[in-house]
Amino acid sequence: MAGTGAILRQQVRPGGVPKRTRRRHETRRLRDWRVRNQWLLPALAALLGVVLGVMLVDATPGSALGGLAWRGTPREARSVLSSVLGTALTSLSIILSLSMLVAQNLAAQYSPRLIRVYQRDAGNRIVLPVFILTGVYCLVAIQRFGLVPGDQEQPRPAAGMAIVLLIACGAALVFQVLHTLQLMRVENLVRTVANLTLHVARGLHRRRLTDAPPVAPPPPSPHALPLRAPADGFVADVDGAALLARAEAHRVVVHVDIAIGEPVLRGTPIGWVEPERTGVARAAGESESLVRAIALDGWRDQDADVALGLRQLVDIAIKALSPGINDPYTAVEALDQLTFILCGLAHLRLGPRVLADGDGRARVFLRAPELRDYLDLATEQITRYGAGEPVVVLRLLRLAGAVGQSARHLADRQAAHATLERILAEAERARTDSPQLGMQQRYAREVERAMEGAPLPPLPALEF
C-alpha cells in the first residue's frame, strides 16, 4: 500500500475531493431523485390547481386578474367549469388509452426494458400534470362557486382561467399524439436510447476527472473485513466521493467488487475494507456507513448504468431477428446506434476507478467495465442470432472495425480484432454454402486492414 501511495502522491490535488465536487454530487442526487420521482410534478400540479381555484374564485372584479374575466353569473361559471372538466377528463382518457397501447407495443415488439424510456419521456412528464392541474382547478372552483351568494352577472376570472386551461389541454393532447407517433418510429426510438446512453456515459466520465491514475489493487490482507450488501437488489450507483470521504475519516481502504447494474444478495460480500491497523475497522464500525454510499434499487435504471442502454439496443436487434418478426433492417439500425455509442465510449475514461486522499494514498478502488466489455455485450448475442443474415454480419464487422480504429488502449484494439474473427467464424458456420460468404470474408479482411491504419471500407451495395 505504501508503494501505491508513492505512485499517486504527486498526481492528486491536495485536499482530496474538493468541496465543489461534493456539492456537484449532492446536486446530481437531487436531480436524479426529481427525474425518477413520477409523482412530484403531478402533486405540484394538483397543489397549484387548488391555489388557483381558491384565488380566482375569490378575486374581486377590479383586481389585476380582470383581464381573465368571463362575464356571467355564479351558475353560468359553474356550468363553464363543469364543461371544461368533462372535456379535460375525456381528453385524458384518450391519452391514457394511447399510452397503454404504446407501452404494450414497446414491450411486445421491441423490449420490455424500453417502457422506462417512454415513462421518462418529457412529453409524458409534462402532459399529465397539465390535465391534473385543470381537473383539480375545476373541482375546487366549482365547489367555491357553490358558496358565492347572489345571482348577479359580473366578471368571473375563474371561468376565464378555465378556458385558458382548456386550450392548454387541447394543445397537450395534440402534442402527445404527434410526439408519441414520432417516438414510436424505430429510427427515433433507437436514437433516443443511444442519446440517453451517451449522456449517462459522459456524466460518469465527468465524475472521473478527479480520479487518480488507475493502478492494480492489492490483494486483501488477513485483517480485511468483508463489505456486505444491506439488501437484495441491483447496484444503481456508487458514490465514489462519499466513499472516499468516509474511508479517509475512518482511515481504511475500500475495495468494491461489484459494478453498476449488477445484482446483489443481502448479506453477500460486495467488496472488502482494509484497515490501516488491526482493529480500527471493527472499533469504528464503519462498514454500514460505507455501504450507504452504494445505492441499491429493485430494478436496473439508466441513471448511471451505461450497460443497460446497450442491453436495450441489443434487445431490439435480437427481437427483430426472431422468426416471428423477421425484420433485419431494424437490427441494422440498432447496430448503427451501437457503433455510435461504442465509438463515443472509446474517447471517455472507462474501467476501474481509483480515488486517492489528499496525501496521494489510494483509498477507494471501484470496479467498472472496460470498452472491451461493452463491445462483447453489444455483439455477442446479435452475432449468435444474426450470423445467418448477411446484412447483419456486415454491420457487425463494420462495428468491430470502427471500435478498433477508435480504441486508445492496446487491450481494446486486440479485443476488437478478436471480435471481428469471432463474427466471421460464426457467419461461416451459419452459412457454409452461402454465395455471400466470400463477400463477407473479403470485407472482414478490408476491415482488419482498416484497424491497422487504412480507411474503413465502404459497405457493399448489398447493405442498401
Q: What is the pLDDT of residue 3?
A: 40
Domain with CATH 3.90.1170.30 in the chain: 1-13+215-369
R_g (Cα) of the chain, nearest Å: 29
Superfamily assignment of 1-13+215-369 in CATH?
Pyrimidine nucleoside phosphorylase-like, C-terminal domain (3.90.1170.30)
Per run of 10 residues, the mean pLDDT along the chain (length 464 residues) is 38 44 52 64 89 78 55 79 91 85 78 76 80 92 72 73 91 86 84 93 92 87 88 92 88 92 93 74 60 88 89 94 88 96 96 91 93 96 93 95 94 96 93 81 92 87 59
Amino acid type, 14 = P
Going by C-alpha positions, the residue among 345, 401, 353, 395 that lies closest to residue 373 is 345
Provide DSSP, 371-401.
HHHHHHHHHHHHHHHHTT-HHHHHHHHHHHH
pTM of the model: 0.81
Q: What is the pLDDT of residue 268?
A: 92
CA 214 remoteness from chain centre: 26
Report pLDDT for 21. Answer: 46
The residue type at 46: A
The pLDDT score that the predictor gives to residue 80 is 87
352 touches 366 (CB < 8 A): yes
| pLDDT for the residue numbered 397 | 96
pLDDT of residue 15: 41
Amino acid of residue 53: G
109 DSSP 8-state letter: I
363 CB-near residues (< 8 Å, 6+ apart): 244, 247, 248, 252, 253, 254, 355, 356, 357
Query: What letter does residue 221 receive in the DSSP assignment?
Result: P
pLDDT at residue 64 in the model: 47
Sign of CA dihedral 202, 207, 210, 213: negative
- What are the two backbone dihedrals, phi and then psi, of residue 305, each rounded to the nearest 5 degrees? -110, 95
